[in-house]
Amino acid sequence: MDATTAPTNAPAEFEAAGGNVGCDYVPAGGTDTYTTPDGGPQLICDRVEPVYVRFTLSARGAATKIDHVGDASCCSGDMLTAGAHWTGGPFACQVTEDGVACTNAERRGFTLSRTGATAN
């Protein structure tokens, strides 16, 4: 199993095996081009097929599902294989053959794959 840890103070991107799901980690304070809604860190994950969908996740609280994404653009970053584990700031993601399952510090999060897009 591969494990990847992003620096907590720098943006990071990764892509799930198969290229259908990609995630962007935004550190607390945001980036030069994006400020997170609450000023804290944020994880943004997009699924391309069968229908484009996005989840956003803050350090605390439930994930937000966005069905109509205005700036659809996916995927880039390190390609992680099924079984890989990614962590960045308060977020942890498990990569599966279908996509990713991610949680925050409160163990709230989402599962995003070809067959589903659910918050937990």
From first to last of its 120 residues, the chain has per-residue pLDDT tens of 466 776 667 888 999 877 889 999 999 999 888 899 999 999 999 998 889 999 999 999 999 999 988 777 777 888 899 999 999 999 999 998 888 999 999 999 999 998 999 998
Q: Where are the beta strands (DSSP E) in the chain?
A: 3-6, 12-16, 21-26, 42-47, 53-58, 64-66, 78-80, 85-88, 91-95, 99-103, 109-113, 117-119
What pLDDT was estimated at residue 2?
65
Number of folded domains that form the chain = 1
Domain range for 105 is: 3-119
What pLDDT was estimated at residue 106?
96
Give the integer Cα–Cα distance in Å for 82 and 120: 21
Q: Which of 88, 94, 98, 111 is nearest to 40 (CA)?
A: 88
What pLDDT was estimated at residue 19?
81
The residues facing 50 across adjacent strands are: none
Intra-chain end-to-end CA distance of the chain, in Å: 24
What pLDDT was estimated at residue 1?
47
